[in-house]
Structure 1
Amino acid sequence: MTGRNAWTLSDTTADLRRSARGPVPVEVTAAPQDLVLDLARTAVVVVDMQNDFCHPDGWLAGIGVDVTPARAPIPVLAELVPALRGAGAAVVWVGWGNRPDRANLPPGVLHVYDPAGTGTGIGSLSNRAGAPVLQEGSWAAALVEELAAVVEPGDVHVPKFRMSGFVDTVLDSVLRNLRVDTLLLTGVNADQCVLNTLTDAANLGYDVVMVEDAVATTSPSFCMDATVYNVRQCYGFTTRAANLLPAVRRAGA
């Protein structure tokens, strides 16, 4: 991906012109308006599709949450991500990857995962797999197997430490270095980490589009309804993979 923002060098000259990348326009049905996207300036951002959130042996399942809804985006993303990559979009995987010592996590973040202070939150072994919860390098923080299978070497991985993928991370500098303007937001949970990442992206000046069938939540259905409403009303747009895929595949042919 570094070729998106690179100089041409010789022993006598630094050519500061970036290589020209022609637009890859696609027309997509969306709400509240249809969109024309430039895939050459677009990244798909996949949030938190990790074992602790989406696997039956992960942390959420271990505390009694039905993770079936969180698994719904898996087949959609397994099809959508390679198609977008093939048409010129950047692929960015964002997920919790905390330090083993949790030194950068304030009490408010730790409380979310262990509200009663029983020692079952981040970094504990409180999942059926016995892996440190959401700890960088652990099985718990790894992408689910089905999506790990579609990762390619040119993809970018960004660990995060808050509900937002932008706070205290390199995500903004990575996206700007990729020369990206538009973000397609996907992953879980739609009303929590996806929405927080989307909101910060919009506030930073990115164009934001949430892919409704590539996000999910284990929260009550009204949370999803409110998320869709607020994305359309306040921040950007929503579309569906079924709307994106035909246009993306034509562009990548």
Structure 2
Amino acid sequence: MIPIGPSRRNTWRVSADAAELMRPALQERRVDVAARPKRVAFDLARTAFIVIDMQNDFCHRDGWLASIGVDVEPARAPIAPLTALLPVLRGAGVPVVWVNWGSRPDRLNLSPALLHVYNGSGTGTGLGDALPATGSPVLQGGSWSAQVVDELAPDPRDIRVDKHRMSGFWDTPLDSILRNLRIETLLFAGVNLDQCVLHTLADANFAGFDTLLVEDCAATTNPRFCHDATILNIHQIFGFTLQSPDLAKAIAP
């Protein structure tokens, strides 16, 4: 019998005259960790780590947000804890998925309403427009603007998904990828917490995934009350929040 499937986690075994539809058993790997509003335990074997929008245009001092006067230092705050946590997750075999803005050069996957959000006057620098300092097109797939910041350069084993909405699930292969990996639990990180992180986390929860935010690995450039309201909503509606040192200790004590 020959294995056939999109990943080692999700394979049949087939021959010319038979097919075995039983997937490989995934040995449970229980992780018990301090969290809010209560302690949680989950199966690391069915968990993926989603990092959202840690890109030059949001986090680099020469990127798009900085060019329009936004203080990007809050968006850079997750870099240090992510640098420490990512090797622990990779070492434990947890898939790392980078979900980033990556619009088409012709902008045919962007609606007028979405373009208006980032260029309300029509005269500013919005999605796909060239940055004055670097000439890189804002959040265009394959550009410097859309790259993950150098400090967090993805590993070749990591998975990349381009999005062009606040949510990483709309019109992307993210859901299919996670289900082909037989994932049930999602850990979230990235920026902006109250925008793309929250909307992706909410859609994941609505789709039936268990959702947890790694709080110190997520941030927003918006006022503090936006952060606080997002954490409140996660606790009340979507799941749990935890801290990366507690997670790392639980995974690799």
TM range (shorter): over 0.9
Q: Is the 8 A contact 1:7 1:15 kept in 2?
A: yes
Find the partner of 1:25 among 1, 24, 30. Answer: 30
Q: 1:1-253, aligned counterparts within 5 Å?
A: 2-126=7-131, 128-148=133-153, 151-250=154-253
Distance 1:8 1:106 in 2: 44
Q: Which amino acid aligns with 1:217?
A: T
Q: Secondary structure at the match of 2:49?
A: strand
> Do 1:120 and 1:126's aligned partners in 2 also have CA atoms closer than 8 Å?
yes
**Distance (whole Å) between structure 2 residues aligned to residue 15 and residue 142 of structure 1:** 41
Equivalent residue letter for 1:144: V
Q: How far apart are 1:224 and its partner, in Å?
A: 0.3
**Shift in Å at residue 128 of structure 1?**
2.7
User: Once structures 1 and 2 are overlaid, which stretch shifts more, 202-211 or 16-25?
Assistant: 16-25
Shift of 1:10: 4.2
**Alpha-carbon distance, 1:81 to partner:** 1.7
Please give the TM-score of this superposition, normalised by the length of structure 1.
Answer: 0.94
Task: Give the ranges of 4+ consecutive aligned residues of structure 1 lying more than 6 Å apart after TM superposition.
Answer: none
Amino acid of the structure 2 residue aligned with 1:158:
V
Aligned residues: 248
Secondary structure of the structure 2 residue equivalent to 1:7? strand
Q: Which moved more, 1:12-21 or 1:80-89?
A: 12-21
1:103-149, CA deviations, whole angstroms, 9 ceiling, x for partnerless residues? Answer: 0111111111111111510111125322110000000000000111x
Partners of 1:58 and 1:127 within 8 A in 2: no
Q: Residue 185 of structure 1 contacts residue 211 of structure 1 at CA under 8 Å; is this kept in 2? A: yes
1:155 Cα deviation (Å)? 1.5
Deviation at 1:12? 4.7
Helix, strand or coil for the counterpart of 2:11?
Answer: coil
| CA root-mean-square deviation | 1.3
Write out per-residue CA displacement over residues 35-91 of structure 1, whole angstroms, 9 at most, x where no aligned residue. Answer: 102111001000000000000010000001110000010111112122112213211
CA contact (8 A) 1:52 1:127 kept: no
SS in 2 for 1:6: strand
- Check the 8 A contact 1:59/1:128 in 2, yes or no: no
Between 80-89 and 43-52, report the one with greater CA deviation.
80-89
1:18 deviates by 1.4
Q: Deviations over 1:8-29 (max 9, x none)?
A: 3445543322111201111110
Give, in whole Å, the separation in 1 of the partners of 2:231 and 2:79.
20
Shift of 1:7: 2.1
Q: TM-score, normalised by structure 2?
A: 0.94
Q: Distance between the aligned counterparts of 1:202 and 1:128, measured in 2?
A: 39
Unaligned runs of 5+ in 2: 1-5
- 2:3 aligned partner: none
Distance 1:127 1:197, change over 3 A: farther
Q: 1:214 to 1:45 in 2, by over 3 A?
A: same
